[in-house]
Structure 1
Amino acid sequence: MTTEHLYNELNYVNHSREKRLKYANLVIDNPNLIPKLLDILFMVDDKVSCRAAWVLEFMCGEQLEAIIPHLDAFTKNMHKVHLDPAVRPVAKICEYLTKAYYSKHETKIKAALTPEYKERIIEVCFDYMINDEKIAPKAYAMNTLFLLGTDYNWIHPELALILERDFQMQSSGFKARARHILKKIKN
Structure 2
Amino acid sequence: MTLSELYDELAYVNHSREKRAYYAQLITNEPGLMELVLEILFMVDDTRSPKAGWIAEFATKEDITTILPHLELFTTKMHTVYQDAALRPVSKICEELAISYYKLKNPQTRASLARIQRERMVTAAFDWLITDQKVAVKAYSMTTLYHLGTEIDWVHRDLKRIMEDGYATGSAAFKARCRHVSSWISKRKKTKSR
Task: Tell me the TM-score range normalised by the shorter chain.
Answer: over 0.9
TM-score by length of 1: 0.97
Q: How does 1:1-187 map to 2 (within 5 A)?
A: 1-187=1-187
Amino acid at match of 2:159: L
Corresponding residue SS for 1:87: helix
Cα root mean square deviation, aligned: 1.0
Per-residue CA shift, 1:47-99, capped at 9, x if unaligned?
10000000000000111111111000000000000000010100000000000
How far is the alpha carbon of 1:184 from its aligned partner? 2.1
CA distance in 2, matches of 1:85, 1:11: 15
* d(CA) in 2 for partners of 1:181, 1:104: 17
Task: Say how many residue pairs are matched.
Answer: 187
Gaps of 5+ in 2: 188-194
2-structure distance, mates of 1:11, 1:124 = 29
> What's the CA shift for 1:26?
0.9
Amino acid at match of 1:5: E
Q: Which moved more, 1:86-95 or 1:22-31?
A: 22-31
CA contact (8 A) 2:101 2:110 kept: yes
Structure 2 Cα separation of the partners of residues 80 and 104 of structure 1: 28
State, as a whole percentage, how many aligned pairs show the same letter.
47
Instruction: Tell me the amino acid that sits aligned with residue 6 of structure 2.
Output: L
Displacement of 1:104 in angstroms is 4.2
Offset of residue 29 of structure 1: 1.2
2:27 and 2:66 in contact (8 A); partners too? no
In the alignment, which residue of structure 1 is the partner of 2:191? none
Is the Cα–Cα contact under 8 Å of residues 103 and 147 in structure 2 kept in the other structure?
no
With normalisation by structure 2, the TM-score equals 0.93
Alpha-carbon distance in 2 for matches of 1:80, 1:93: 15
